[in-house]
């Protein structure tokens, strides 16, 4: 998901007192006792050859297109794994 620079400026200018937190619960000591740190998955840089039209489509989606390609491939792999299990 991307956010426009204009929206970021608007959000940055908000005072903490202007933010509505009424729909979120407070994180008390119980939460932090049960909380677990989840490290992000490491990624490995690779060289891959893609059809020009495919690469241009992903680039056209904006910033983060490489992460989007990764997500699409991950979803495909998970679907294949689930199919093989059944």
pLDDT digit string, tens, across residues 29-72: 988 899 998 888 889 999 999 999 999 999 999 999 999 999 99
The helix (H) or strand (E) run that includes residue 71 is helix 65-85
Written as one string, the DSSP assignment of 5-45 is: HHHHHHHHT--GGGS--TTS----HHHHHH----PPPP---
Give yes or no for residue 27 having a pLDDT over 60: yes
pTM over 0.85: no
pLDDT of residue 1: 61
Is the pLDDT assigned to residue 26 strictly greater than 80? yes
Per-residue model confidence (pLDDT) at position 85: 59
Question: For residue 82, what pLDDT band results from cuts at 50, 70 and 90?
Answer: confident
pLDDT at 86 over 80: no
Q: How far apart are CA 28 and CA 18, in angstroms?
A: 22
């Amino acid at each position: 998901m991307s956010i426009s620079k204009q929206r970021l400026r608007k959000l940055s200018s908000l005072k903490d007192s202007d933010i509505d937190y009424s729909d979120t619960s407070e994180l008390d000591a119980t939460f932090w006792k049960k909380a677990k740190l989840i490290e992000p998955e490491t990624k490995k840089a690779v060289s891959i050859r893609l059809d020009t039209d495919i690469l241009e489509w992903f680039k056209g989606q904006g910033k983060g297109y490489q992460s989007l390609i990764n997500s699409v491939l991950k979803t495909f792999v998970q679907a294949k794994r689930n199919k093989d299990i059944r």
